[in-house]
Amino acid sequence: MNMYLIGLTGGMGSGKSTVADCLRSNGIPVIDADVIAHKIMNEESTFDKIHEIFGKNVFDKDGSLNKVKFSSVLFTNTVKRKKLNEFVHPKVWDEMMNETEKYVTEGSKVIFLDVPLLIESGWHTRVNETWLVKADYNERIERLRLRTNLSTEEIKKRIEIQMPESEKEEYADKIINNGGTIEETGKQVIEELQKIIEKTEKR
């Protein structure tokens, strides 16, 4: 496929959504791995795998997944989380590639993949370059506290299980600082996007 594929990543609360919205408003396709993963998580085959890995305790009596119990185990049990990711991640990647093909068919040359675990999963090696969105640690906590029902302590635990931003920076080709205003973030995105567009036009 004749395209330039860019991985967009960042830790919880870093502001990836702000960057993704800016890209979309400028006509650039952004494929959201979380949206695809959510769909796959609701498939029967995934429910069977969750039952196999996590047991019946994360399900209610009516057979539905108890998201509170499931999340509690998911974010504390590294082994079980890894097993589930090994099942779900390939499905997510395949679906992202299907969507990518559709955009290429429509004429898109630059496509972003919004993937929280882009580097952890090794998918940064499958894209042309990686953009990392970062923000101050305390600001990330405050953003997550305002938009979720999680306590500050729970938020910190979830951030801590992710790769530290300092390590992610080593893999990033571009770093978008999302610690200021939306306008300031947007300016960075547009500047970097223009460079990419100029590069792809010369290919």
H-only helix segments in 106-181: 137-147, 152-160, 165-168
- Beta-carbon-side half-sphere exposure of residue 43 (alpha carbons within 13 Å): 12
Separation between Cα atoms, residue 23 and residue 43, nearest integer Å: 30
Mention every residue, 6+ apart, whose C-beta is less than 8 A from residue 48: none
pLDDT of residue 203: 64
Instruction: Based on the fold, state whether residues 47 and 25 are members of the same structural domain.
Output: no
Instruction: Based on the fold, state whether residues 126 and 158 are members of the same structural domain.
Output: yes
Number of domains, the chain: 2
Binding residues for ATP: 13-18
pLDDT above 60: residue 1: no
Which residue range forms the structural domain that includes residue 63? 37-98
In the sheet that holds 110-114, the strands lie side by side as 30-32, 110-114, 4-9, 129-134, 174-177
| pLDDT tens-place string over residues 107-130 | 999 999 999 999 999 999 999 999
The pLDDT of 176-203, averaged and rounded, is 89
Instruction: Based on the fold, state whether residues 116 and 194 are members of the same structural domain.
Output: yes
Instruction: Based on the fold, state whether residues 21 and 41 are members of the same structural domain.
Output: no
pLDDT above 90: residue 162: no
- pLDDT > 70: what percent of the chain? 99
| pLDDT tens-place string over residues 72-89 | 898 889 899 999 999 999
Instruction: Based on the fold, state whether residues 120 and 197 are members of the same structural domain.
Output: yes
pLDDT above 80: residue 2: no
| Token pair belonging to 21 | 């919205």
Of residues 12, 10, 15, 7, the one with CA closest to residue 186: 15
Domain stops at, among 98, 132, 147:
98
pLDDT of residue 75: 85
| pLDDT tens-place string over residues 53-67 | 999 999 998 888 998
pLDDT above 80: residue 153: yes
Domain stops at, among 77, 98, 119:
98
Overall pTM surpassing 0.85 (yes/no): yes
| pLDDT tens-place string over residues 15-72 | 999 999 999 999 999 999 999 999 999 899 999 999 999 999 999 988 889 988 998 8
Label residue 197 by pLDDT band (50, 70, 90).
confident
The pLDDT of 165-187, averaged and rounded, is 93
| Token pair belonging to 95 | 């679906």
Which residue has better confidence, 106 or 76? 106
Binding residues: 13-18
The pLDDT of 151-170, averaged and rounded, is 90
Instruction: Based on the fold, state whether residues 117 and 191 are members of the same structural domain.
Output: yes
Whether 103 is covered by a domain: the verdict is no
Instruction: Based on the fold, state whether residues 139 and 62 are members of the same structural domain.
Output: no
Instruction: Give the burial class of 85: count Cβ atoms within 10 A of its Cβ; 0-12 exposed, 13-18 middle, 19 or more buried.
Output: middle
